[in-house]
Structure formats: C-alpha cells, structure tokens
Structure 1
C-alpha cells in the first residue's frame, strides 16, 4: 500500500505540474517569498514612523532580539506552547474516544447529541470567565478551558465519520466475524480518519484562540498575558513582539498538523486522486 501510494502521489504531482506549467520548486519558492515581501513592505512603510502604536519594524525586531536573552520571555513561550500542546492532545484523545463510543452506540448518540450541539454552539471564549469564576486563576483553569473548548470539533467529526462508514464494509466485517475491537480499529476508524483529522484542524484553531484569551484574563503567565500587560503599560514594541510570536506559534502548529495529516492520509489522498484521473 505504501509503495502504491507513493507512486500515485508522485504521478499526481507530475500531472499537476504539467497542468500548471510550473515546477514544484518554483511554487514552494513563491510560498516562501510572499511572507518575505510582506515583511519588506512593512519595513518600508513603518520606517521613520512616529506613531506610538505603529513603531518601525526595525524597533520591533530589535526588541525581539533583546527579549530572546531574557528567561522570563522563554518562560512565557514555554507556558503558552505547553498549555496548547497538552490541551490539544487531551481534546483529541477525549474527542476520539467519546466519538467512537457515541458513533457505535446509536441510541446513546441520539440521546446526547442535542446536548453536545448546545454546548458546541456556545462561543469558546465565553467559557473562559466561567471557569475562572468557578476554579480560579490557575494553570489548571487554562488547560481545562482550552481542552473543553477544543474537544467538540474532534468529537463531532468522529461521530460523523463513524456514522458515514460504508455499510458494505460493516457487513464484510460481520461476515468475517471480526470482533468489536477489530471492526473499530480495522474498518471504522481508518475510514473515518479523514473527517477526524479535519476536525482536529478546527480544534487546533479553537484551542489556540482560547489559549490566548485564557492567558489574557487574570493570568500573569504566557504570551497572551505578556502581550496584554505590554499594551496596558504602553510598552508598544513588546506588544508587537508578543503578537508576532503568537502568529509564528500558530502558523508552526498548523503546519505541523497539516504535515501529520498528509502523512497519515497518504492512502486516502492517493485513492481520491486515482478516482479523479479515471
């Protein structure tokens, strides 16, 4: 399967290049060049700026280099990244396991789905003040609020993925007398994995937004708290540094998850491409 998938993916890339008329290295170069051009434009436009709230990019980068040498800055980065990674992992595990249960036990899904959709409809950021009021301003509050906000996209996508499994494949599993465990992990879960991973991408965005919001509400740790404190203290260059670093962390997390998704779903991408070429 892996050799076939690799061949199909390479065939797909070759056909795509022929259709577009552009080599892959040129497309990658353009993807890298656009952010560089935007930074260069920012540098030019902000050069010599006297606006307190729009300092020159050079001043922001100089302050960033200065902050790199302070342990407090790295402590805030570590706190934000650690909370995001732990909460996202917990949300994925809880969402997938609970989704498998609700997806296979139809009556339980029918019973609980209205409640799930009700809580999912609540804006994730609105949950943060509730947890702060109930639990307090601890790191546990931030992890709990991020996890519970990010679990719903994974949970719902897992339930939908399990419900969408081809009935013929379910029947084949029964014919071969596969146990419940084998039917889940050999039939249902692989077929539902594209939807589950799409839900994880939405969950990551939700987790990142709630992470920043939870740090800004009564916390003294994390990049969100540092950015808000800098804004309130009129340390505008520090504020811009916090915003840029948060953007880099969000982009890196999304890129890593996209890479993981492509690795896991190589077989699915190859099959879809083969179907299009038929």
Structure 2
C-alpha cells in the first residue's frame, strides 16, 4: 500500500499540520458565528478581536492588570504550597491519621470557595488579600490530597531500606520519600496553579479589586464586547502559559522519571 506524502512526513510535522487545521476550523466557525447569530449582540470576529488586542497591548494599563492578576495567583499558590505540603506529609505518614481525616478532606475540596466570597469580602474588603485568601482555601486541597496520597503510596521496601541502612530522617526524606512523591505532588501543583489563576480573576471580577477580572467587569458594564473578549482570551492564554511553565518545570525536576522520559508529563 502506497503511503501518502502526509503520512510519510515526520510525526512532528503531522502534529503541526493537524493542530493548524484545527485552529483554522475553529477560527472559521468563530467568524461565521460572529457574522451570523452573534451579530445582533456585537460578537466580535477574529479580525476585530485581534485589532482590539493590538490596541490594548499598546497600553500600560493592560500589562499592569495582567501583572496584578499573575502576582495574586502566584502569591496565593505559594501560600497553598507552603501550607499544603507539610500538612499532606503529616497526614500521609500515618494510616490512622489518613483514615480519620478523609471526611474532612472530602468536605473541604467540594466546598466552592467562591461561595465564601461575601464573608471574605466583609473581612478583607476589595483588596488583593481577598483574592489571596480565596486562592489559599481553594488551591490548598489538591496539594494536601496529592501529597498525602504520595506519601501513603511509598513502597514498603524503600522504608525497610532506610531502616536497614540507619538513614537519618532527613536523608530518608531527601533520597527515598521525595523522589517517590514528587510525581504525585506535581500533579497537585498543576491543578492548584489552574485554580489559583481562576480564583484570582474571579475575586477581581466579583470583589472589585484591580486586575484582569476587574477590567473585564468594566468592559461588560459598558457593553464593550470587543475588549471583554480580549480580556477573556488573555485570561485563557495566561492559564495555558501557567500550565506550560509547570510542565517544563516538571520535566526539568523529574527528568529521570519514566513518565517524563516517555513524554507523559505533557
């Protein structure tokens, strides 16, 4: 059977072509919708959105709001990691503690933090602290759960090796526990990073503090659909970039892990 030139192309070229075609189809559907059913509501076409994006990119306020949202997300994520990893280690180190806290963890991770916004708004007001606290109470759960699960899944053989060689607690943590748990912890970090950006923008949108969420709300209030669309896409792109950063960090730290060597980290 004769192979077509496309099938004979390298896998990287085929992936690039397939993704480019998917993007072109999506843009075509977007344009047709904007010119058709969405025309009455002022839905922008891809070309109009690109023009609005270029106009906003030339202003300092646009980049300032992006920086504010990213800083809030990273600050809340950092606090969630600093608090969540030690708690996860303590919970995962003892089977009885893990069983007794299971209900609390299940309850905590299912409570939407945005439902607590009115309470936190009364306490912290429309400030960055509001967003940081919302991120903390949202992003800490995947970090705790993945860390505790990772510690609980450490091979008993590794524990016996540590005791047999009389390794100190620090050396057991560094050379036995950490390499085994890091793949699980990175999964929790990637989930928490996505939640952090989402909650940062949501808190700005609903709470009224500076950032992408706030300017998105302003654009919607004056019915500026073109700018609202650009801000929404900017938030989506930030999410993709943040996830890519953690993927690259995971590959750098876990270069030795089979999932990374086989490309499973992406």
TM-score tier after normalising by the smaller chain length: 0.7 to 0.9
TM-score under structure 2 normalisation? 0.85
Any idea what the Cα deviations from partners look like across 1:172-205, whole Å, max 9, x if unmatched? Answer: 1011111111111211121011111111122122
Counterpart position of 1:254: 243
Corresponding residue SS for 1:266: coil
Residue 231 of structure 2 corresponds to residue 242 of structure 1: yes
Counterpart position of 1:178: 167
Question: Residue 84 of structure 1: which of 73, 83, 96 is its match?
Answer: 73
- CA shift for structure 1 position 86: 2.0
Residue 13 of structure 2 corresponds to residue 26 of structure 1: yes
Contact residue 127 and residue 209 of structure 2 kept, 8 A: no
TM-score under structure 1 normalisation? 0.82
- CA shift for structure 1 position 132: 1.3
Corresponding residue SS for 1:178: coil
Distance across 1 between alignment mates of 2:39 and 2:102: 55
Counterpart position of 1:198: 187
Within 5 Å, which residues of 2 pair with 1:1-278?
23-30=10-17, 32-33=19-20, 34-43=22-31, 45-46=33-34, 50-269=39-258
- CA shift for structure 1 position 263: 2.6
Task: Out of 138-147 and 168-177, give the one that drifted further.
Answer: 138-147
Contact residue 70 and residue 197 of structure 2 kept, 8 A: no
Distance across 1 between alignment mates of 2:129 and 2:260: 43
- Extract unaligned runs of 5+ from structure 2: 1-6
Corresponding residue SS for 1:267: coil
- CA separation of 1:28 and 1:93: change in aligned 2, threshold 3 A: farther
- CA shift for structure 1 position 105: 4.6
Counterpart position of 2:3: none
- CA shift for structure 1 position 23: 2.5
Any idea what the Cα deviations from partners look like across 1:198-237, whole Å, max 9, x if unmatched? Answer: 1112212222221221111122411111112211111111
Counterpart position of 2:4: none
- CA shift for structure 1 position 165: 0.3
Contact residue 47 and residue 57 of structure 1 kept, 8 A: no
Distance across 2 between alignment mates of 1:266 and 1:31: 28
Distance across 2 between alignment mates of 1:200 and 1:93: 11
Distance across 2 between alignment mates of 1:108 and 1:78: 40
Distance across 2 between alignment mates of 1:129 and 1:258: 34
RMSD across aligned C-alpha pairs, in angstroms?
2.5
Any idea what the Cα deviations from partners look like across 1:51-74, whole Å, max 9, x if unmatched? Answer: 333122222221111111222211
Give the number of the structure with larger relative contact order, counting CA–CA contacts within 8 Å between residues 6 or more apart. 1
